[in-house]
Amino acid sequence: MTQLSTLPVPGRERLICALDVSSPSAARDLVDVLGESVAFYKVGLELFMAGGYFELIDWLVARGKRVFVDLKFFDVPETVRGAVRGLRGRGVSFATVHGNQAILEAAGREKGEVKILAVTVLTSLDRGDLDDLGFRCDVEQLVLSRARRALAAGCDGVISSGLEAPLIRAELGDRILVVTPGIRPVENRPDDDQKRTVDVAQAFANGADYIVVGRPIRQAADPRKAAEGIQATIGTLFAQ
């Protein structure tokens, strides 16, 4: 069953491009190459460690881009609360938080205008990885449990594989945002660290509000053309 998002958001903002590059200058170069083909960017841990993180966020916001801070805050609740507070007033749209209920609640209380997304299960993990980490439940059960807890804690949404998105939609409906990473246009290569993946059309059919796409855009021979191809698919899906 198709579960297309009913979120009232411009279609071109449903694509979030992951700026998983080694430096702010490389990020700016990619943004310039992509031009108007991308309106929303994820800025993650690699760029945070490269320096100039907040200057890059300011640069993106000044150009009318939406920003997703993907640092997966995971610390004692008071520290997470302070970290989330530090994002307010910067034009940041989304931020990720990981951890137990107290951590999620601390982020939810301090979020202001920033929408907080709780991590469910990383798309780089499969059943064997979860066994290694000591989780004995099914991936689907774990994702759904974490989505329920995130909503109860005051979070706005979750990061979820497209494979589990239908379960979240079936139980929680439109009360929660679903952001789906691990998008692959074709079958995964053996060396790809993303394991639980779907393509663009399937992610949205399964209920994603937004998708995060990195390597299929960055590593394309023509990144702008690759992004526009994804936007065309999104436009077709939400024109129905």
Which residues are marked as active site?
Answer: 72
For residue 115, give both structure tokens: 């929408």
End-to-end CA distance of the chain: 15
CB proximity list for 99: less than 8 A, separation 6 or greater: 73, 74, 75, 80
C-alpha dihedral over 49, 53, 56, 60, to 10 degrees? 110
CA 14 to each of CA 5, 103, 108, 194, 234: distance values in angstroms, whole numbers, following the listed order: 10, 27, 23, 20, 8
Element (H, E) at 34: helix 24-34
In 10 A of CB 148, how many CB atoms? 15
DSSP bridge partners of 183:
198
CB proximity list for 60: less than 8 A, separation 6 or greater: 31, 41, 43, 67
Collapse the DSSP code of 42 into the 3-class scheme (helix H, G, I; strand E, B; otherwise coil) and give the result. strand
